[in-house]
Amino acid sequence: MTDESPHPAAGDDLIAEIGRLEGEGRDRLAAAATLDELRAAETAVVGKRSPLTGLRRRLGALDPEGRRTVGKALNAALEALEAVAEERRAELAAEARRRQLEAERLDLTEVTPGRPAGHLHLVTQAIEELEDVFVGMGFTVAEGPEIETEWHNFGALNFPPDHPARDEYDTLYVGWGERGSTLLRTHTSPVQVRVMTGSPPPYYCVMPGRVFRSDTADATHMPVFHQIEGLVVDRDITFADLAGTIDAFTKAYFGGDFTSRLRASYFPFTEPSAEFDIQRPDGTWLELGGCGMVHPNVLANCGLDPDEWQGFAFGFGIDRLAIARHGVDDLRDLFTNDIRFLTQF
Amino acid sequence: MKVLLSWLREFAPIEGDPAALAEHLSDLGTAVEKLDVLGRNLDGVVVARVLATRPHPNADKVQLVDVDAGDGEALQIVCGAFNMAPGDLVPLATVGTVMPDGMEIGRRKVRGEWSNGMLCSAAELGLGEDHEGILILPADLPVGAPLAEAMGIEHDVLFDLEVNPNRPDAMSVAGVARDLAARLGVPFALPEPAVEEVPAELLKDVTVEVEAPDLCGRFSARVLRGVTVGPSDPAIARRLTLMGMRPINSLVDVSNYVMLELGQPNHPYDLAKLRGRGLRVRRARPGETLVTLDDVERTFTGDDLLICDAEDRPVGIAGVMGGAETEIDESTTDVLVEMAWFLPISVAKTARRLRLRTEASARFEKGTDPEIIDLAQRRLAELVAASGARLEQGGVDVRGELPERAPVRVRTGRLNRLLGTRLTAEEVARLLDPIGFTTRVVGEDAEVTIPSWRYDSATEIDVVEEVARHYGYSRIGRTVPRPPHPGRLDARQRERRRLRSLLVGRGLSEAMPLPFLAPGDLERCGLPGDGIEITNPLVAEESVLRTSLLPGLVKALATNAARRNTGVGLWEIGHVFRRWPEGTAGPGTELPDEREMLAVALGGRDATEAVREWYAIAELLSLQDATLRNGPVPGLHPTRSARVLAASGEELGAVGEVDPAVLEAHGIGERVGWIELDLDAVARLPRAERRYRPVSVYPSSDIDLAFEVDEDVPAADVERVLREAAGDRLASLRLFDVYRGPGIAEGRRSLAFALRLDAPDHTLTDEEVAGVRQRCIEAVESALPASLRG
């Protein structure tokens, strides 16, 4: 004990007081159950008017040594309490967030579809897929009118007038122009004629479209159906190119484990002509369509020199292919437009 | 065309597994539609004689048949067919027989009556297509004998072939044999008939006149004397039965047999019934008639070719069917046999017009072999010789106009360039010679003479096809051509796909109604009844072509409504067919005005919703410049419809709601929003280029302006004026409220617009914003009967 420290006991008192107030403060802060309570407790414990902060006024009565020691202790206590408050605030905020989230709980399986997406028609889906396969093979897509002249549908395609081959097409004629001059196209082949008469060769294109026959609707026939046809004309296109293109298409559209074959056949607009069949991986065959080398008469009718230009054409029906894929067994369902049918695909 | 393997073998030593032979036939272009292996699985089936038929006491659809199965006892069978009579021979599957389809025949009771076996149809035995009635067997078979043995059908194969128009040769057994023998590399020969000819007597009186040499290229008539008409040789009757023809008598059956074998249709006339003992071939006189063999009276036009007797009375339709009067019967002894070549197109036209397609016309239509006639005459005589007939020497043979058959030059280089092969002229010759295309090698090329049995072939490409066929399509390589340009959809096709995706994304499904309408359908939809007609419709319901997509989609909604599907949103992209406006002429008008349209039908949604959908479509198609003009549109709600106009004023379509009267007529009980858009017109429009408007980084300012506007001023007009007035500063404009009611004068409504303004290079000052606001207000108030709401 010396004279230099006239109130040593008072300094010790203050240290003790700080310790007590800090302990009370910790308890009070810890007891705050909400952010509001925490804010009130903070004001009471470390605010400007809190007893702890109030001790600062009593520092002046201490000697420099005591002032430094007590001041340090006081600051340490205030900082510690602020840290506790901060920690408690984080706890309470997390708790409040947790309660908020819990209050927002949703059973997402209670939710029903609003307006569901619409559906593309089965035939359109098939056409787009076929187009994509052929575009990938380097083809463009050509289109033409559904009402055609007799010349585009038959004459240019090497069907002589009155030829019995015309009978097989069950043609629907249209009351336009001279009787028998205008018809609903019976196949997509007139588009070939339009392509060849419309621009110079070479041609690498497919022609999807709607065709018509005088047929009574039943499970396997419709007076309206869809075909896709391909036309390739260039200087050196061969029958081997035809067979290779059919096979490349088969693998691209049906799958790598499908194969194809060509059988001799007859069409007025191709020679040599062939039917093409697809063999499924299980060994069974599907008769798909017809094809052949474009007949020299057809080339000549379209203004091309058959000794200079040559090529092949192929075609097949789309509707039966489309329904077979999905297990639909009645073609009429495609055209009834029942929404319960349309939205299944 | 059906062919039996045993019959083919009479021309060539054809061996091999039936399935492999079928593969060859199909590959050659004669597709095997059905292959039946005969004589198998017929154990237990015997020839039985029908003793009596009695009604079943408890059933109408079956009867009781007593048969003798060879032991002389009556055996009761319950049978579902009624085509047999006492005395007929029929096939009986005895108890224990396993049928070709695997079914085992048992003794069983049918409605209380015992059935001790089953009487069989041709189809049940795998002997033909006919499953309607019981197969009636040739009358001379031994009762009780196993059927296979009695019919001589052990180990035979029946091929049912599809014959294309370019294969007239395949309309005969011999022709099929020739083609198949060539493929298999075995020799083919037409056996020379063994027939003794006697000096001509009756022939001396026979006359033949061909007055239409353009339609009748050859006409041969020969006389058979001392014919006894009776039951056929069982071997012939059996084959005809298997080929699906009913045996009739010895002469008619031989006539058919020769046609099937050699492809030469022929007609035997009873000389005693043939007036004047002569034949004339001439065109019919319009209105002339003849009762044909099937007892139907036929009426002719001047294009039909008739066979007449020497007194000029018709006795047959050339190439189609004979007349009833000169038909062969049991009393016939002397016969004049006609074998001819008729112009294919002429027979085809007559058969088509009369709807009378016969075995004969099917062959003449494709073109028969004019040079087979001599052999066919002798073959027919050979086959009837057994019944005592003698062929008189000579005959009348008149030649008219036959197709020219000049040799064809086949350029080997061209052939290889077409097929992708490397064949030499010699190899070409080796492929062609076996099918009768005789070939002379000339340098690198081949000079080919086309055989008389190939009416279809005349040009180089026809010969190339024959080479390809016999070389084998499967032996030709497979290469993939390389297009010089990349494949892609064009702009319009890509846009169509985006449009489809948009519509599907907005919850609308694609419908596909038929484009055919019934008379009155258009009118029922409030549209003019000026649809183009189909001249030969199958049914009236499908006799008019649509001029609009409205009837089809409204029908589709009606179908759905009737099935309790309401609130259905459908769309279609499809063609419509219209008449050109009066007075239109020139290129293109040889066809109707055909356009691709888009239509959307919104079941349960009104015009306002249709307009919302329209804006989505307009955005996608870059039709921001297009405007809606309120006004009636046919088929649509008269006060809730608008036309879509391009900036140029061209009409692109319509938006609104379907006319309630139309909905009522179709039984639709909800509103139907409607959009129809002419995609051809849209495609022709100059599209506004999408130029970039820099996105401003400076804060924008919003102003709201509400105007009281007369009801007859479209909101679109106010909007247009605002856009013009706001100018460059306008970032966006939106009509956000429409109000009618207290505070607004009668006949007016309040339209409130929200304008967002900005500038690319600075924050707008209050003065600038106030200036735009003032310009907008002044512009609207001066241009339109409208005033700013205070």
Q: Do A145 and B508 touch (CB under 8 A)?
A: no
One domain, residues A331 and A201: yes
Token pair for B252: 């008619």
Residue type, position B480, single letter: V
What single DSSP character describes residue B146? B
Which chain A residue has the Cα nearest residue B575? A146
Amino acid A100 reads Q
> Is beta strand B314-317 parallel, antiparallel or unpaired with respect to B321-322?
antiparallel
Separation CA B57–CA B63 (nearest Å): 9
Residue A209 included in any domain: yes
Q: Check whether residue A159 and residue A91 sit in a common domain.
A: no
More confident residue, A8 or A167: A167
Is A2 a domain residue?
A: no
User: Hey, are the CB atoms on A238 and B417 less than 8 Å from each other?
Assistant: yes
First to last CA, chain A: 99
**For residue A205, is it within any domain?**
yes
Amino acid at the residue B514: L
Please judge whether B510 and A121 are an interchain contact, meaning their C-beta atoms are less than 8 angstroms apart.
yes
CB contact under 8 Å between A147 and B560, yes or no, is: no
Q: Does A327 share its domain with A298?
A: yes
Say whether residue B465 is in contact with chain A using an 8 A CB cutoff: yes
Asked if B512 reaches chain A (Cβ–Cβ under 8 Å), the answer is: yes
Distances (CA, A) of B707 to A333, B365, B701: 53, 82, 20
Asked if A155 has any chain B CB less than 8 Å from its own CB, the reply is no
Contact B591 A215 (CB under 8 A): no
B175 is written with which tokens?
A: 């022709």
Q: Does B474 touch chain A (CB under 8 A)?
A: yes
Using the beta-carbon criterion (under 8 Å), do B483 and A119 form an inter-chain contact?
Answer: no
- For residue A185, is it within any domain? yes
Q: A239–B512: do the CB atoms touch at under 8 Å?
A: no
3-state secondary structure of B71: coil
State the CATH number of the domain containing residue A133: 3.30.930.10
Min Cα separation A234/chain B (Å): 9
* CB-based contact, A178 to chain B, within 8 Å: no
B535 touches chain A (CB under 8 A): yes
Nearest beta carbon to residue B591 from set A115, A147, A237:
A147
Do A261 and A218 fall into the same domain? yes
Sheet harboring B31-38: ordered strands across?
B2-4, B156-162, B31-38
Q: Are residues A95 and A129 in the same domain?
A: no
Cβ contact A118–B508 (<8 Å) = yes
* Distance from the A141 Cα atom to the nearest Cα atom in chain B, whole angstroms: 6
Answer with the one of A104, A137, A167 that is the final residue of a domain. A104
ipTM (interface pTM): 0.84
Instruction: Note the pLDDT of residue B584.
Output: 86
pLDDT at A10: 61
Model pLDDT for residues A63-109, shown as the tens digit of each residue: 888 888 888 999 999 999 999 999 999 999 999 899 999 999 999 98
- Chain B contact for A218, CB < 8 A? no
Determine, yes or no, domain membership for A193.
Answer: yes
- Which residues 368-427 of chain B have a CB within 8 Å of chain A? 414, 417-421
Q: Which residue has the tokens 């039946």?
A: B36
Domain boundary among A104, A134, A149: A104
Residue of chain B nearest A340, judged by CA positions: B565
A-chain residues within 8 Å CB-CB of B497? 128
Contact yes or no for B473 and A274 at CB 8 A? yes
Residues A95 and A126 in one domain: no
Measured between beta carbons, the chain A residues lying within 8 angstroms of B571 are: 118
Residues A24 and A156 in one domain: no
pLDDT tens, position by position, B522-533 = 999 999 999 999
Interface subset of A 2-41, CB within 8 angstroms of B: none
Close Cβ partners of A275 (under 8 Å, ≥ 6 residues apart): A262, A263, A265, A287, A289, A290, A291, B31
Q: Name the pLDDT band for A249 (thresholds 50, 70, 90).
A: very high
| Amino acid B153: pLDDT | 65
Which of A135, A176, A182, A206 should be substituted to probe chain B, the one whose Cβ sees the most B Cβ atoms within 10 Å?
A: A176
A136 and A47 inside one domain:
no
Domain count, chain A: 2
Residue B292: DSSP 8-state: B
Q: Which residue in the set A167, A238, A275 is minimally distant from B420, CB to CB?
A: A238
Query: Which amino acid, B149?
Result: E
A to B CB pairs, distance under 8 Å: 246
**Measured between CB atoms, does B531 come within 8 Å of chain A?**
no
Residue B653's DSSP bridge partners are: B644, B677
Q: Classify residue B208 by its DSSP letter.
A: E
CB within 8 Å: B352 and A241: no
What pLDDT score does A5 carry? 47
DSSP A188: S
Residue A111 lies in a domain: no
**CA B401 – CA A162 distance, rounded (Å):** 20
Q: Please report residues of A whose CB lies closer than 8 A to that of B29.
A: 263-266
Two structure tokens written together for B41: 């699985």
pLDDT at A333: 94
- Spatial separation of the C-alpha atoms in residues B29 and A59, rounded to whole Å: 118
Residue B785 in contact with partner chain A when CB distance is under 8 A: no
What does the pLDDT average to over A119-142?
A: 96
Can you tell me the distance from the alpha carbon of A315 to that of A202, in angstroms, rounded to the nearest whole number?
Answer: 19
Same domain, A184 and A294: yes
Alpha helix segments (H runs only) across B47-132? none
Same domain, A87 and A181: no
Q: What is the pTM of this model?
A: 0.84
From B462, which residue of chain A is nearest by alpha-carbon distance?
A271
Assign residue B510 a region (left: φ > 0; alpha: ψ between -120 and 50; beta: otherwise). beta
Partner B, chain A 278-307, Cβ-Cβ below 8 Å = 293, 295-296, 307
Contact check, Cβ <8 Å, B419/A239: yes
Is the CB of residue A175 less than 8 Å away from at least one CB of chain B?
yes
Average pLDDT, whole number, for chain A?
A: 91
Domain housing A132: 122-342
Same domain for A252 and A204:
yes
Spatial contact of B49 and B68, defined as CB atoms under 8 Å apart: yes
CB contact (8 A) between residue A240 and residue B533:
no
For every residue of B181-194, which 3-state class applies, written as one string?
HHHHCCCCCCCCCC
Tell me: do A160 and A261 sit in the same domain. yes
Angle between helices A8-31 and A35-46 (to 10 degrees): 180
Pairing of strands B390-392, B197-198: parallel
* Among the partner residues A124, A139, A147, nearest to B510 by beta-carbon distance: A124
Is there a contact between B165 and A164 if contact means CB atoms under 8 Å apart?
yes
Whether A138 sits inside 8 A of B513 (CB atoms) is no
Query: Chain B contact for A174, CB < 8 A?
Result: yes
Whether the CB of A308 is below 8 Å from some CB of chain B: the reply is no
pLDDT at A2: 44
Please identify every stretch of chain B with a pLDDT value under 70, giving residue numbers as ranges: 40-41, 126, 128-129, 153-154, 688
Strands B197-198 and B297-299: unpaired
CA-CA distance, B743 to B303, in Å (whole number)?
Answer: 87
Question: Between chains, do B417 and A310 touch, taking CB under 8 Å as contact?
Answer: yes
For residue B532, the chain A residues in CB contact (below 8 A) are 147, 174-176
Contacts of B473 in chain A (CB under 8 A): 239, 243, 261-264, 272, 274
Residue B123 to residue B131: CA distance in whole angstroms = 5
Last residue of a domain, one of A104, A135, A167: A104
